[in-house]
A and B are shown apart, each in its own frame.
Chain A
Amino acid sequence: MKARRIVASVFRHLFLAIMAGIWLIPILWLFVTSFSTDPGIRTTRFFPEHWTLANYSKLLLHPDTVANFPAWFKNSMIIGVISCIISSAFVLMVSYAFSCMRFPSRKRLMSFSIILGMFPGVLSMIAVYFILKMFNLTDSLAGLIVVYSAGSGLGFLICKGFFDTIPASLRESAKIEGASEFTVFTRIVIPLSKPMIVYTVINSFLAPWMDFVMAKLLIRSKDPADWTVAIGLYNILQKTLIGQYFSVFCAGGIVVAVPISILFIIMQKFYVEGITGGAVKG
C-alpha cells in the first residue's frame, strides 16, 4: 500500500517536472542566448558556442543609435512608477467608496462601472489617440501615464471584495471615536489590507511596464531615446537589425524581468501575513 503511494507520487512529480521543464525551455533559451558571443540568431544549436557578458555591457553601458536601453529603461520606469502610484490610489479609493460608504445609486454606479470595465481598452485606441493629440499629449510620457492610470479605478472589483471582509464594527468604532472617512480609510482599512495592496501595486506596475500596444500608438517619435523598453526591444527584431542585435535583445528581455522580480520579492512577504485575525476583541 505504502509502496503504491510512493510510486504514484514519483510519477506525479516526474510528470510535473517534465511539464515545468517544457514551460521553462523558452526562458532558458532566452537566458543562455543572452550570453552568446554570436550577435544573431543561432537556430542550429541551443547553447551558445562561446559565452560572454558583452551583450549586457553593450546593452547597459554602450547605448548606440539602435539600442538605447538605458533611456528606454528610464522612460518605462518613470511611466511604470507614476502610473503605479496613481492607479493604486484610484483602485483603493474607488473600492473603499463602493465597499464602505453608502450613497444613492451605489449599486447602479457599480454595475455601470463593471460593464464599462468589460469593454477592452483597445477599442477606444484611435479615439484616445486623437483626444490626447488635441491636448498635445502624444509623444510624451505624461500622455502614457494618463492613459494607463485614468481608467484604472474600474478594476476595483477584487479589491472591493477584500474590503467587504473587513468587519464593519472596526470602522464603526473608529467613527464613534470621531474619525472622518479619510481617517478610517488611511488608519483602519489600509493597514488591514496589505495583501490586497500588494496585489494592486504589482498589477498596476506590470500593466504599464509591459504594455506595447498603447505605447506604440502614442509614442510617434522615431528617436530611440523617446521609446519605452517594449517599443525599443520590438524595434530590434527588424530584419535589418536582428542579425547584429539578437543576443542584445535577449539580454534586454532578461533585464526587463529584474524590476518585476525585485518588486515581487519585496512585496511577497506581505502575502503570508494575516489579515484581520484577532483585530476585533471581545
Chain B
Amino acid sequence: MKKKLVAVLLTAAMAVSLAACGKTTEKQPEVAPEQGTEQTTEEKTGDTEVVINQGSDDAIANLIAATEGTVDLTLWCSEMESYQNTMKELVDEFKNTYSDVDFNITIGAQSESTCKDEVLKDVEAAADVFVFADDQLNELVQAGALQAVTTTYTFDPLAANGAGAVNAASLNGTCYAYPLTASNGYFLIYDKSLLTDEDVASWENLVAACEAQGKKCGFDFGNGWYTYGFFSGAGCTATLAEDGVNNVCDWNNETGVAVAESLVKICSSDAVISIGDADARAQAKDGDLIAYVDGTWSIEDFQAAYGDNLACVKLPTFEVNGVATQEGSFAGYKLVGVNAYSKNVGWAMLLAEFITNEEAQMKIGANTQEGPSNINAAASISSPALSALGAQSAFADLQRVGGNYWTPAGTLGQTLYTGTDDVKAALDDAVAGITAAAE
C-alpha cells in the first residue's frame, strides 16, 4: 500500500515536469513595415551586396493608423550613466515626434558586450530594441533573434553609415542591424609629457624610453583581443571558418614564429607589464604606467591620471625579422538590433532608426566618448581618442572569431609575456586550441 503511494507520487511529479517541458508557445515573428518601394539603394560592401527599400512617409502614417492603445517597447543599451541619460533624452524626443501615439518605453541597462547572452537566454522576454557589439551578429542571426532590416521608414542606414559599419551589420547580403558607433577598437594611450612622438612610434622605442625613465608600459597580454593585433599586423590570420562557428588560424607559420619571437624580446624588458583595465588605471594614477593599449571606455580614467598630458595615437610598430611592422587590431561597431519576436516590430524598427540617425549619433558622440558610425556625424566630432582610432582603422580587422579563439589566444599572450624557449611549440598549442572544432 505504502509502496503504491510513493509510486503514484513519483509518477505525478514526472508527469508535471514533462508537461512543463512540452508546452512551448510557437510564435511566428510578425513582418514589419510596409514594403514601400519608392527608393532602392544598393551598395557594395565587401563581398556581399546589401539592399534596403526605403519606405515612404505613408508607411509611418499607416503604422500610426494601425496602432491601437499603448505601445510597449523595451530598449536595452549600455549600463554607463552617460549612455542611459542620452538614450532617455532620445526616447523623449521620439515620443514627442510621434505624439499621436501613446508610448510606454522602458530603458534597460545591458552591457553591449554580453547582450547576445541575455537576448538568447529567452528571446521572447528580451528587449524589443537592443544595442550589441558587432561580433555577436552571426549568432543572433543564426538564432533568428534579429529582424532583418529590409525596409526603413526615415533614412537609409546603408548610405548614411560608413562602409565598414554596414559590412559589420550585414550577413550574406542582408542587413540585420542599424550601426550606432564605430569606436570599439583599441589604440595607445600615453602621457605626452614623458614620451615623444618618436617614442610611441614603435614598441622598441617605447620600451627603451620607459626603461630610461624607470616607468612602465603595456597591455593585457592575457586577453586575446589585444594579442591578435601583433599577428594580424604581420599578415597572419585568425578568423571564422566558412561554417561561421569554427576558426581558421595560421599563427604557427614562419611569420607567426617571427612575431612571437619579437614579442618575447619586447616583453623581456621589465618596463613591459601585462595588466588588465582596472589595474592599469590605478597604476596610471600612481604615475608608474605611462603608456597603455586600451579603448575609448577608459579614456576618462586616464584623463584623470594624466590630465592635459593625455595623448592617444595609433598602435606602435614592432620588428618582425628586422622589419618595422605596423601592429594591427580589431575594430568593432555597436549595432542596434530589433527583436524578431517583438510585439511591436514596426515601432521597434522606427525607434531603432530614430536612435541611430545622424542627430542621435551626434548626441551620443558628444555625451559619451564614442565615435559615431554615421559618416556626417563622424566628420563633425573629433577627440584625440577618435583620431587615434581613425589612424588605426586602416590596420584593423573586423572581429570575426569563434568562441574557441579566446582562451588559447589569451594563454599564448601570457606565455609570450613570461617568455619561452620554444615559441613554435607555444604557437602550435595555441593554433590547435583556436582551430579545435566547436562543440
Contacts of B301 in A (CB 8 A): 40, 243-244
Quick one: given A38-B285, A44-B286, are A108 and B109 in contact (CB under 8 Å)?
no
Contact A240 B281 (CB under 8 A): no
| Closest A residue by C-beta to B112 | A240
Question: B6 CB to closest chain A CB, in angstroms?
Answer: 6
Quick one: given A64-B81, A108-B6, A223-B107, are A240 and B278 in contact (CB under 8 Å)?
no
Contact A222 B108 (CB under 8 A): yes
Choose from A44, A104, A129, A235 the contact partner of B283 (Cβ within 8 Å).
A44
Interface residues of B in 95-143 (CB under 8 A from A): 106-111, 118, 121-122, 125-127
| Stretch from B17-25, B245-253, B321-329, B380-388 forming part of the interface with A | B17-25
Q: Does A42 contact B (CB under 8 A)?
A: yes
Choose from B76, B109, B286 the contact partner of A235 (Cβ within 8 Å).
B109
Main secondary structure of the interface of A (DSSP, over half): loop
Interface residues of B in 260-291 (CB under 8 A from A): 277-279, 281-283, 285-286, 288
Contacts of A40 in B (CB 8 A): 278, 281-282, 285, 301
Quick one: given A40-B282, A243-B277, are A235 and B79 in contact (CB under 8 Å)?
yes
Choose from B106, B125, B126, B281 the contact partner of A133 (Cβ within 8 Å).
B125
Contacts of A65 in B (CB 8 A): 81, 84-85, 109
Interface size on B, residues (CB 8 A): 42
Contact A127 B279 (CB under 8 A): no
Interface residues of A in 139-158 (CB under 8 A from B): 139
Choose from A44, A139, A220, A241 the contact partner of B79 (Cβ within 8 Å).
A241
Contact B2 A222 (CB under 8 A): no
Q: Does A276 contact B (CB under 8 A)?
A: no
Contacts of B126 in A (CB 8 A): 220
Contacts of A139 in B (CB 8 A): 125
Contact B279 A41 (CB under 8 A): yes
Contacts of A129 in B (CB 8 A): 122
Contact with B along A106-147 (1 / 0, CB 8 A): 001000100000000000000101110110001100000000
Q: How far apart sit A183 and B121, CA to CA, in the bound complex (Å)?
A: 49
Question: B87 CB to closest chain A CB, in angstroms?
Answer: 10
Q: Given A42-B282, A238-B79, A243-B300, output 9 extra A-B contacts at Cβ < 8 Å.
A: A41-B281, A65-B85, A66-B84, A105-B2, A108-B5, A131-B20, A133-B122, A222-B76, A240-B79
